[in-house]
């Protein structure tokens, strides 16, 4: 399996347009060891010909241009056979609307995520210019689904949605009741090699099901949003705690780094890293703590071969 991290930042990216926290300032000024990051997404393929996007981020157009394997091979064409959504947050799905231009697409998502994006949203009509412009393929919890190319043939990858703690997207709070389908980890299995990638950029806390799927993975792209629960308040960037926003902080006794440190047979890479997270500073003690656990911080363009 081929994996390319297209974007490693959380919603807003690094730096964020309306933020001058110490980290965003350092990125702009070039005063510390830190690099810019676009919003979380990755491209995966079994054969290097048909590709799938994990999320369609608001940065999708530049992310496609950043990776030659995603470039069209003819006047109207795309090697992107489909897009997989692990939740309905805008940073996961806003880019779908940028993939219009009458290109047939397949979108794989749970029914709750599909409903949240489509129902009552007139912008979706830009993806409905002709019948079946977008095929919405349901990911039922725990059911392995074959990822197919435009010709309908299996591409060599299968995906399973595993419910993980999360939340209804902010724009749907009060409009759609919470469901186990709101937020999932995507377990992607390569048929030929048997290798398994887990994409879990939003995880509000541990469960036995999450731990089981992580333990059998060869590579995990995991939620690196926040280092601490009160990081936004400490940075002056907001009031809400990490857990209220659907993210399990990395640091501290009950942090996710403690679990990730146990998965020694698995390549563990943090994605969806928020611009307030000190782990982004390559010379920070938090980055050193992650490295001591064998946990990497993704950068845009990172290539993995689970």
Residues engaged in binding Zn ion (CB under 5 A): 19, 21, 24, 275
Q: What is the rounded distance in angstroms from the CA atom of residue 188 to the CA atom of residue 166?
A: 20
- If the CB atoms of residues 24 and 172 are measured against Zn ion, the closer one turns out to be 24
- Closest distance of CB 18 from Zn ion, Å: 9
- Closest distance of CB 235 from Zn ion, Å: 7
- If the CB atoms of residues 270 and 280 are measured against Zn ion, the closer one turns out to be 280
Q: What is the rounded distance in angstroms from the CA atom of residue 69 to the CA atom of residue 224?
A: 26
- Closest distance of CB 27 from Zn ion, Å: 8
DSSP secondary structure letter of residue 116: H
- Closest distance of CB 14 from Zn ion, Å: 7
Alpha carbon of residue 125 to chain centroid: 25
- Closest distance of CB 275 from Zn ion, Å: 4
**Long-range residue pairs from 153-158, CB within 8 A, at least 24 positions apart, any chain:** 154/191, 155/45, 155/46, 155/47, 155/50, 155/52, 155/81, 156/46, 156/47, 156/190, 156/191, 156/192, 157/1, 157/44, 157/45, 157/46, 157/52, 157/188, 157/189, 157/190, 157/191, 158/188, 158/189, 158/191
- If the CB atoms of residues 267 and 287 are measured against Zn ion, the closer one turns out to be 287
Q: What is the rounded distance in angstroms from the CA atom of residue 110 to the CA atom of residue 140?
A: 6
CB 96 within 8 A of CB 83: yes
């Amino acid at each position: 399996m081929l994996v390319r991290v297209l974007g490693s930042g959380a919603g807003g990216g690094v730096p964020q347009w309306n933020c001058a926290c110490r980290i965003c300032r350092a990125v702009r000024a070039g005063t510390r060891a830190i690099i810019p990051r676009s919003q979380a997404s990755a491209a995966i393929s079994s054969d290097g010909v048909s590709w799938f996007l994990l999320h369609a981020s608001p940065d999708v157009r530049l992310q496609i241009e950043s990776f030659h394997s995603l470039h069209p091979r003819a006047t109207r064409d795309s090697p992107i056979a489909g897009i997989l959504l692990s939740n309905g947050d805008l940073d996961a799905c806003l880019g779908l609307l940028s993939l219009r231009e009458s290109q047939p697409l397949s979108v794989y998502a749970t029914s709750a995520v599909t409903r949240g994006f489509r129902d009552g949203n007139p912008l979706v009509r830009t993806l409905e210019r002709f019948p079946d412009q977008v095929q919405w393929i349901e990911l039922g919890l725990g059911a392995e689904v074959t990822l197919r190319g435009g010709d309908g043939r299996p591409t060599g990858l299968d995906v399973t949605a595993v419910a993980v703690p999360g939340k209804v997207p902010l724009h749907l709070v009060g409009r759609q009741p919470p469901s186990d389908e709101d937020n999932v980890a995507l377990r992607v299995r390569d048929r030929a090699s048997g290798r398994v990638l887990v994409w879990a950029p939003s995880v509000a806390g541990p469960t036995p099901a999450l731990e089981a799927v992580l333990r059998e993975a060869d590579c995990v792209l995991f939620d690196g949003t926040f280092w601490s629960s009160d990081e936004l308040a400490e940075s002056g960037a907001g009031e809400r705690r990490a857990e209220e926003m659907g993210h399990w902080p990395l640091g501290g006794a009950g942090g996710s780094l403690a679990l990730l440190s146990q998965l020694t047979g698995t390549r563990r890479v943090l994605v969806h890293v928020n611009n307030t997270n000190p782990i982004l500073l390559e010379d920070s003690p938090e980055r050193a703590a992650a490295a001591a656990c064998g946990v990497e911080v993704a950068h845009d363009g990172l290539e993995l071969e689970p």
